[in-house]
Structure 1
């Protein structure tokens, strides 16, 4: 019997969970990040980095080249002597040559090594730029998520107001029967009921639109009865002032890229050493006096040192220093603006908290006023119009409390979004 009860309970829980799903704002952050089309660029950036690194590594492989030429020249080399009974035939004026050359880099001054470092640094910059763009999604999620929470609270309050107006309608209806009120008073209550019902239709339509927007953001269907978990305002006590925004990592990655680019400037001014082998076939070959097609080969080492880049080395480094200073200014400006925004948001949180201290008292007083008005209407000393005004004032006080609670949550999460904590 106990096993049967346990199975029934478990089935109920599973069914209940599947019908009424729950979503926290953290869940929405993660799902929105995964679903956003821009996330595909992470894979593309990684692939581009791998291709560039692979191409750089190929610089260590032997480089093979082939060339061929045919020429006709106006004069040829001749010996300025004659020997008795000896005929020295010169080479033809038309000459032919084909050469295959294999070059092997021995030391390039560190160019390939630094090219790979630049590839890594550039990829890191691209990823951090993408992180910055992706982080902006959180702010959009905040607006939609808390917008839905506010609408949920407003719909709840609207239902309570409709119940209150229904009770008032029944009371005024009895007053009309007893001659205390007239039909116009009853019509006034009915108008308020209809207006409140219309307001509920507007709120539910807006909520449906917001839910569809949230579903599109996270890439999952959301049922009408799915529940959004309302965060606790207690988290405001743990707000931190440390800024961990992805923009800071972007500035750091850009600065590292410029430092790496300085290294390749030095590498370009270093000598290069390599070995080579040439294999050729032509007429003439290496023996210029042999007038026939012959094969030949040449092997050796080659040292090159280009001094032309020394002219611009100093200015190239100054240009990179200037770029780094520009990044430092951007970082300083970002921190200044972020700290300013955090100050404004912190003050907004404190202001809302102060407003919320009096919300319950205002509601209590408005409720007392409404109840007193009901008694006065019952005794014929107050009009139904005045009663409706007090009912609406009580509802407005409750709406203000709901609004302040959601505004506080929005302000807290805006602050957390500014710091990424």
Structure 2
């Protein structure tokens, strides 16, 4: 009986241990899911860039471009394969060669006027002067150009993302300032209620504060609606549905200097690749004036065969080497090369125009940065003074020497000053982000 009791206890201990282990492993996905959701509640600006890049429809073109390039290369490789063609013809001619002098001992058969021929022709390129390899290089350059155009299009999303992102941030900060003011008025209402009961101040002062509280509630609801609308537009742009409670993280850009020299942008890479592409086209043109060698062969059956004096059907074949060279093309190759040189100059002109426009934009954002830096210094001073004024008027309100209207006027002035401070702070950050984005450094 005792042994049975010990065995049962051990069995229960083992079962409990198994249960605890299973429970532990069941909790791991739950904890991971919670951690994932907590991280998902915050979203950075650069994360928006990455999400937009992954979901933008133009990204599919990379795969299409690669498929097109592979097919073109396969076609070019066929240039090295034997070229086989089957030809057939039948003709009737009005006259044929014949001997007009009679040799009794030499009887020549008159060729037939109808002729039949079926041939199989073979041509194998031995050396094409580098034409195929140059054309392959040109196709690779075309692939680079097409893919880089996609990069340019993707980078153009950033200013649009910036605008929507900071639009939501401004609404977030506006809501925060309203909520602080709401709590401030709530506290004042509690304090004024006791003074109204004691008939120290008239009840109208309390009603004015309560009405202002309702107006702030309306303002917060309006801000929430605008924020949701802006989030939907941002979601549409980046291709992912963002939750309404997502918290957009305020960026912290670092600007080492405010020089107006553009950095390396996708457009610069595109200009460079296009220049290189035209150099490759020039190489293709140069191969046109190089001799090309091929092996040729022909096998056939017909009447007559190679012996035109034999008037019967016969099989035949020929083999040999072929050379093709066009040393004089009346300057056509040079004209094509000059066209590509002019196209390179056009690309260079486009790059200079692009850089000029970048410098204009950088100058604007630089001015904005300096402006908001100066405004923020003044905002701090203004808020400090507004705080003193509000405290002073509230003391007067408690003593019944002023009405709630006067107090709310000063409180609203403080609220507007705080809102301007947060707005200018975000506008400064946005100007810095726009400066770095335009420069190609963010």
| 1:366 Cα offset (Å) | 0.8
Equivalent of 1:375 in 395, 409, 412: 395
Q: Distance in 1 between matches of 2:36 and 2:155?
A: 30
- TM-score (norm. length: structure 2): 0.87
**Corresponding residue number in structure 2 for 1:202:** 222
Do residues 57 (structure 1) and 77 (structure 2) align? yes
| 1:132 Cα offset (Å) | 0.4
| Runs (5+) with no aligned partner, structure 1 | none
Bigger drift between 10-19 and 276-285 goes to 10-19
Change (3 A) 1:49 1:239: farther
**Corresponding residue number in structure 1 for 2:286:** 266
Q: Distance in 2 between matches of 1:261 and 1:406?
A: 49
Asked if 2 retains the 8 angstrom alpha-carbon contact of 1:19 and 1:225, the reply is no
Provide the aligned length of Structure 1 versus Structure 2.
416
**Corresponding residue number in structure 2 for 1:236:** 255
Deviations 1:35-93 (Å, cap 9, x if unpaired)? 11110111111111121122112111111111100111111111222222654321211
**Any idea what SS the aligned residue of 1:154 has?**
helix
Equivalent of 1:17 in 35, 51, 59: 35
| 1:197 Cα offset (Å) | 1.3
Do residues 392 (structure 1) and 378 (structure 2) align? no
Q: Distance in 2 between matches of 1:86 and 1:379?
A: 149
Q: Distance in 1 between matches of 2:348 and 2:243?
A: 48
Do residues 291 (structure 1) and 315 (structure 2) align? no
**Corresponding residue number in structure 1 for 2:10:** none
| 1:175 Cα offset (Å) | 5.0
| 1:171 Cα offset (Å) | 4.5
**Corresponding residue number in structure 2 for 1:415:** 435
Asked if 2 retains the 8 angstrom alpha-carbon contact of 1:121 and 1:256, the reply is yes
**Corresponding residue number in structure 2 for 1:322:** 342
Asked if 1 retains the 8 angstrom alpha-carbon contact of 2:201 and 2:399, the reply is no
| 1:198 Cα offset (Å) | 1.4
Equivalent of 1:253 in 273, 279, 284: 273
Q: Distance in 2 between matches of 1:398 and 1:91?
A: 111
Q: Distance in 2 between matches of 1:224 and 1:286?
A: 87
Change (3 A) 1:381 1:132: same
| 1:375 Cα offset (Å) | 1.6
Asked if 1 retains the 8 angstrom alpha-carbon contact of 2:138 and 2:280, the reply is yes
**Any idea what SS the aligned residue of 2:156 has?**
helix
Please give the root-mean-square deviation of Cα atoms over the aligned residues, in Å.
2.6
Asked if 2 retains the 8 angstrom alpha-carbon contact of 1:32 and 1:218, the reply is yes
Equivalent of 1:26 in 21, 43, 46: 46
Q: Distance in 1 between matches of 2:329 and 2:190?
A: 95
Q: Distance in 2 between matches of 1:412 and 1:157?
A: 23
